[in-house]
Amino acid sequence: MFHKEGFQIILGSFVLMAAIALGAEYGISNFYLQKGIQLVALALLILVLQFFRNPKRNTPIDDSLLYAPVDGKVVVIEEVFEKEFFKDKRLQVSIFMSPINVHVTRYCMSGNVVFSKHHPGKYLVAWHPKSSEENERTTIVLENKSFGQVLYRQIAGALARRIVNYAKEGTQVVQGTDAGFIKFGSRIDLYLPLGTPLNVSLNQVVKGGIDVIAKA
């Protein structure tokens, strides 16, 4: 299954790679060069397909659990001052996604969307210290009775050129369902209330909608 955000890119890539493969078949007489070009075209198509894959995840609905919103590696766990929405100290958990990870963003908890904003910006590498403030990003705040208000931020990276965000202020969302997509590599920052018991450690690899980040 592929994410709907990739349908046009997948179709365009298929047409382009097919044209390259056919061009090599009928336009190049050297057998090894011909097959080499065709293999490269096939490999590029496979990369596009795997990037936009959208595996079905059966997320158990549990208001006492906060699930990972994306697949990737936990690269930051620290107390920071969140200055856009809370304007106070929060516990930050950041998950870095490489180009080979699933890039679907899933709602980490059920609740009400109380804030949703897109910020245009730069495309620094996702692990750059200033990427969370200077890169293109979206800021979304969810609220429920178990965790109170939790902020997650989709951050574009050096390759990511488009962030898709489905969260709309005033709507109710369901844990584990599709919240958006980040195209071609990036990261997610979570900002939790101080003292939230975490269920992950630094450098741990997590799967969105499956692995638990924190417990209420």
Residue 27 phi, psi dihedral angles, 5° rounding: -110, -10
Report DSSP letters for 145-185, one per residue. Answer: TTTEEEEEEEEE-SS--EEEE---TT-EE-TTSEEEEEESS
Give, for 143, the enclosing helix (H) or strand (E): strand 137-144
Q: Which residues pair with 93 in a beta bridge?
A: 77, 190
Out of 94, 116, 186, 201, which one is annotated catalytic? 186
Residue 18 phi, psi dihedral angles, 5° rounding: -65, -40
What's the helix, strand, coil split of the chain in %, to 5? 25, 40, 40
Query: Among this protein's residues, is 186 annotated catalytic?
Result: yes
Q: Which residues are catalytic?
A: 186
